[in-house]
Structure 1
């Protein structure tokens, strides 16, 4: 559970950092080397990993201090917090509030900031005079936009859809999408822009 949360939360933060990088590259291109120097990039990456570690550690500790009795079998490939909360044999209101807060602050807020950055990027690109520069700017963002769409799309579809649409096999397949497929596809998608590849 710790590693699932760590990598998921860190991915959300890193996707935002990458979207911010694309925003600065396109909307503030003359200031790019100042705003996105090596030190800033290292700090943003370290901040993303620190948030992931701290929040994952806190959530994991809070889940495994709950009392569990009865069937403790989870039909998934990993321990999902929502499933563990259902198995707990005590009042989980505080844990649910904690999970909701983490979801809003560390998953929803970065997603909204990514969307906002792409709104600014698209409006800037559409104001560019030549079609060639528009195509170049869109190609700069395409890889990040593909990964954001796949990652957040599967998460939203998994956790936001009505309970009547849930099936154990479907949930397992969707969980594979954002835990295995998206991170595995990342290097391929980002490598496509590399001229040597």
Structure 2
């Protein structure tokens, strides 16, 4: 069978007990919100509860094998998981190791997040830190980093520099998304401290953490 939606993961009987979801609340709940036709950038508390209820139903009927971090890669390789939510950077290596593993972006969209470089307040070497950050946003250093980590590169104009290192990486939408893929990208909205605590507690109860 071909998995095309999150509903396929949560409902299809052929996948029962062989589905993996992520322990990262924003990714798993965000993808569920999208499947429920809700915008993760604008959702209300009731929408969050509906997403948790949707996931809980799948857990209760034994559809979900487990919630994982990066260790889903081993479960896929062993065949313990038939399908799962996954991170783009892992997929590049997974596909290199096993051509039978593939990915699909649901029509409802996918979640994008970012790691951020920060400079502590009153840092003694603020200028040096700023120079280092600027360096990583130059095309050639950004290309070397993208070729190494295989995650989405945020730097415009990096494709030619990346192609000089690894042409396959330069043409891989998991590293440099094309416009069609970019159009499906969604972000999870910022949470207040109260929401963060409440939502994480509900998710922890769901996952058994």
* TM-score normalized by the length of structure 2: 0.28
TM-score by length of 1: 0.29
Between Structure 1 and Structure 2, the one with more helix by share is 1
Q: Which has the higher strand share?
A: 2
